[in-house]
Structure 1
């Protein structure tokens, strides 16, 4: 996206406020006209006074007073127009900045895991905050100040040729020189500023990465290392930013020099034209006023253009995120399913991450409503990936997945995920109160329903012992709670949602043996009448599953009940023996000690 294309899109974002923008443009036109009139009136006053010796005193006073009254009216009208423009521009810029921020936030939240896996959350936050601030600054400065400059150059500058084309040529040369120098510097600095913005994004990503892993940073004494890494990126930012700033400093100096030369040229040329009878003193004064006004506008425009150039990379980033398309697009004719019965079917499903090998290959199985299916296997065998596909966090590259006979790609994402509840291996809590975390899946739940779900998950007692009970803040990612407490809240959250399809992803992995036994009872109650998928490494948690699927290298190597698979003497039986021998070793360890 080029410089001008980016700027055109910045203005295009204001389409919902087009009538306000049009009104501001008309006001800017009026302001430019009023500012154009001031030097003209000043010149007319000078001409009236310079010719006073050839007319009656009363006539001179009448003309002078009339011109001064018009001049005063023009000035007052200009002040009123400036106030109106400032108020409208401020409100429009603020309103649209927040609108874009809201749109960006919604868009990013809806993007699939493939997008978030490639882009750090710190970078996304930086793009949103910096990009919307850039938009706000451009809209405000453009409609408040610089639109008048462009109208003056494009519309009103040609009118000076009607007054005195010889003096007008000096102003035209000034504008042409300014535009040529600005265009040259833009071409020389645009690529460098892109690199600066890339380093700025790396800076935000590095800071977010270190802060989100502050425990690791402190535990592994990486304070100086992380600070050095951050400082290295800062140095790269400065190394690339200073040359850009140098170029624009040169532009500022050249603009000021050209402006001074222009004023001197107008004075000298005007004096010669006056002596030759081709220009009045008033015209010379008017053109001096035009030059002074134009110089001020152009100097301001230099700052605007340089600022715009530095903002372009940030604007491109925010537009690139807004333009990003989901890898799991919603079907325009997607079905909004009510509560499903829970019949799930995988038909020849294959999946691989972009640029990587296949993780799943020809996976086929069926789970009838109310049945419990366990997925076991070594880490990386494809268990969690299969369940991610069921939630449509990714789409299979081959085959299809159906719920109640409907291909999940034909079901709206909201209704699909409304019918699926998940207890994650990592509890993934918001930095909000316990109550707000529990109500994520069911905002309308009553306090009684909330407490019932927490009792079933063995969470109510520890919640009531918290300083503010259910209104206690849990900290970022639940840092104020133990692993077991976070996991029980996650289970209570799923219980409260009451979905027909349930995924338990190592749901009890963070619990001690005594608490796990109690929570398993609650999970059995939760699982009744639901289609349940259990991802587990501890095989004791899946003994009662209706069917066990043993995953190996992305395929289902074995399937059957617990007893059937043990009798089969295959891969599952090996896993059982491995865990049993590990458990016996743990029991023997205290005796040996």
Structure 2
């Protein structure tokens, strides 16, 4: 219903706290009724005391309206009660605002976690951070000001106009027309301010993206001497943000006074028409004073709404960006089957007719047919861009195929289409170590326990041994309790890869896929790691261990030498598969990749070589 009105849609978040919402509304209602009673009491006091005799003014009883102390007490009690109610209402609205901000950020964080890898590749880190911080804060300010300005100001208008109409209908209805006219102009201006703030938000996202990119790529920047270029680029983004902000502020400064002037005319009307009513004896002096006080309060309150509309304009643009992200449906939908496979019997993967097409119709993978069996090391080889990483990423549903299916299971335990499994279960069975090695800020033990939260020091040490990283453990000053730095900045590339391998080993998934995860290792270390992984995967020597299927994306001969089965990819298609011996005998393309034959040169490349 409110999908096209993101700010109104955000108000639906109040449904998570209905009782506090009702309490806050009652408190503000009571506070504004108290204001009207206070102003009404001032008028009554003036009218009662106007006719009192100065000599005997204090001779009346304390409860007599002719006694000034009576009105002093009434006004003091009302003012005190209003102050308490106003404080409680303001406090409650602030609590609601913070609770809403928490709910909003939790929704954003959960959505970011649920969205698939493809979405994250299309959207930068700065965009996510901007919507979680700047946009969420702006929306929170609007939701808090909804209570302080919109809701409370609406009550002020209703109560004030009601009191003015009590004195005379035209005394209240004409100011209501001025308010309506002024607010309609304000709302019209707000539409333009939303567009301007949208540009401000986009400029801010550029700053966030640039900052995140330059921090993550600091080594490349220093290596290529790009400090000045990146500083100039960042300065341009800052200047663009400043210019957009100035444009938005200037627009508000030019046009916001117009509706404020119109609204201020209601004060002139109350004063002029009130004076006329006094002249024809339809209004008392005290009532006239009370009417002026109410009109004065109306003007200041509605003028403040004009300033707050700028906040709402910012919030409308921010809310649109937030809901735009929250409304995205992940391409990867969770299944509903949670299979109870016995990992000790081994698990297999069957890939049948798998194809992946881009939006432009290009095939990244085409008609892949293969079978990954337990107890094997399977290596996927191919030229750069052949589709090796894409194939691995389909095994645990980082990507879903456009055509074809992937089955997990065995002849003994039955087969399940991976699309029908719960993602958490599938990724417990199929563990992929990506090309990039990410570590959380914290200790080595904390990063290893990501895979197994209850892992003992002995289990972690054993996993490090299997990954040939136990000597790294001996070098670290505090062992497993050593802080390895944000994203592992204190570690070398090879150290990161071995710790990532240890983390995957610790999880003990029956199917382990390594996406070029030994590229930074020296030959001796790589050989040790692969031999230990092979011993884990060998059904004859694994003993009580889970028989594992090891799938490796690599063109390194040291890796291939330990492989039981090799899949050769070219342009997203399997052009050959078999053992190393068979492929050397029967596949010309495989021999080229391995460097045992020179590729045939096209005429253009031959000319280039001669030159």
Match status 1:335 vs 2:338: yes
- Given candidates 287, 292, 301, the residue that maps to 1:288 is 292
1:425 paired residue number: 435
Q: Structure 1 residues 355, 303: CA separation in 2 closer, same or farther (over 3 Å shift)?
A: farther
1:584 paired residue number: none
Q: CA–CA distance in 2 between the matches of 1:256 and 1:395?
A: 57
Q: CA–CA distance in 2 between the matches of 1:124 and 1:429?
A: 20
Give, in angstroms, the shift of residue 195 of structure 1.
Answer: 1.7
1:13 partner SS: helix
2:365 paired residue number: 360
Match status 1:554 vs 2:572: yes
Q: CA–CA distance in 1 between the matches of 2:191 and 2:433?
A: 54
Match status 1:402 vs 2:403: no
Of stretches 496-505 and 362-371 in structure 1, the one that deviates more from structure 2 is: 362-371
Contact 1:434 1:472 in 2 (8 A): yes
Give, in angstroms, the shift of residue 375 of structure 1.
Answer: 0.9
Deviation digits for residues 299-322 of structure 1 (CA, Å, limit 9, x no counterpart)? 221221111101222222122222
Q: Structure 1 residues 250, 468: CA separation in 2 closer, same or farther (over 3 Å shift)?
A: same
Give, in angstroms, the shift of residue 144 of structure 1.
Answer: 4.0
- Given candidates 231, 238, 241, the residue that maps to 1:237 is 241
1:121 paired residue number: 125
Of stretches 344-353 and 67-76 in structure 1, the one that deviates more from structure 2 is: 67-76
Within a 5 Å distance, the mapping from 1:52-451 to structure 2 comes to 52=52, 57=57, 58=59, 62-63=64-65, 64-154=68-158, 156-254=160-258, 256-258=260-262, 260-331=264-335, 333-340=336-343, 341-355=346-360, 357-404=362-409, 405-451=415-461
Deviation digits for residues 181-201 of structure 1 (CA, Å, limit 9, x no counterpart)? 202211332222222211111
2:51 paired residue number: 51
2:13 paired residue number: 13
Give, in angstroms, the shift of residue 401 of structure 1.
Answer: 0.4
Give, in angstroms, the shift of residue 56 of structure 1.
Answer: 7.6
Q: CA–CA distance in 2 between the matches of 1:10 and 1:283?
A: 42
Of stretches 474-483 and 571-580 in structure 1, the one that deviates more from structure 2 is: 571-580
Contact 2:3 2:9 in 1 (8 A): no
Give, in angstroms, the shift of residue 467 of structure 1.
Answer: 2.8
Q: Structure 1 residues 356, 46: CA separation in 2 closer, same or farther (over 3 Å shift)?
A: farther
Contact 1:337 1:416 in 2 (8 A): no
Q: CA–CA distance in 2 between the matches of 1:20 and 1:327?
A: 37
Match status 1:514 vs 2:532: no
Give, in angstroms, the shift of residue 103 of structure 1.
Answer: 2.6
Contact 1:495 1:526 in 2 (8 A): no
Given the two structures, how large is their TM-score scaled by the length of structure 2?
Answer: 0.89
Give, in angstroms, the shift of residue 15 of structure 1.
Answer: 1.1
Contact 1:85 1:144 in 2 (8 A): no
Given the two structures, how large is their TM-score scaled by the length of structure 1?
Answer: 0.92
Give, in angstroms, the shift of residue 166 of structure 1.
Answer: 2.7
2:334 partner SS: coil
Deviation digits for residues 460-499 of structure 1 (CA, Å, limit 9, x no counterpart)? 2222322322122222332211111111101111111111
Q: Structure 1 residues 197, 435: CA separation in 2 closer, same or farther (over 3 Å shift)?
A: same
Q: Structure 1 residues 255, 170: CA separation in 2 closer, same or farther (over 3 Å shift)?
A: same
Of stretches 244-253 and 282-291 in structure 1, the one that deviates more from structure 2 is: 244-253
Q: Structure 1 residues 272, 426: CA separation in 2 closer, same or farther (over 3 Å shift)?
A: closer
Q: CA–CA distance in 2 between the matches of 1:339 and 1:284?
A: 87
The root-mean-square deviation of aligned C-alpha atoms, in Å, is 2.4
Q: CA–CA distance in 1 between the matches of 2:394 and 2:4?
A: 42
Contact 1:391 1:416 in 2 (8 A): yes
Q: CA–CA distance in 2 between the matches of 1:3 and 1:386?
A: 38
Give, in angstroms, the shift of residue 514 of structure 1.
Answer: 2.2
Give, in angstroms, the shift of residue 233 of structure 1.
Answer: 2.3
Of stretches 275-284 and 52-61 in structure 1, the one that deviates more from structure 2 is: 52-61
User: Going by fraction, where is helix more abundant, 1 or 2?
Assistant: 1
Give, in angstroms, the shift of residue 572 of structure 1.
Answer: 1.1
1:590 paired residue number: none
Contact 1:349 1:363 in 2 (8 A): yes
Give, in angstroms, the shift of residue 159 of structure 1.
Answer: 4.4
Q: Structure 1 residues 2, 92: CA separation in 2 closer, same or farther (over 3 Å shift)?
A: closer
Q: CA–CA distance in 1 between the matches of 2:4 and 2:500?
A: 50
Matched residue count: 580
Of stretches 335-344 and 462-471 in structure 1, the one that deviates more from structure 2 is: 335-344
Give, in angstroms, the shift of residue 397 of structure 1.
Answer: 0.3
Contact 2:530 2:562 in 1 (8 A): no
Q: Structure 1 residues 87, 54: CA separation in 2 closer, same or farther (over 3 Å shift)?
A: closer
1:52 partner SS: coil
Give, in angstroms, the shift of residue 575 of structure 1.
Answer: 2.1
Of stretches 381-390 and 538-547 in structure 1, the one that deviates more from structure 2 is: 538-547
Match status 1:465 vs 2:483: no
Structure 1 unaligned blocks of 5 or more: 582-593
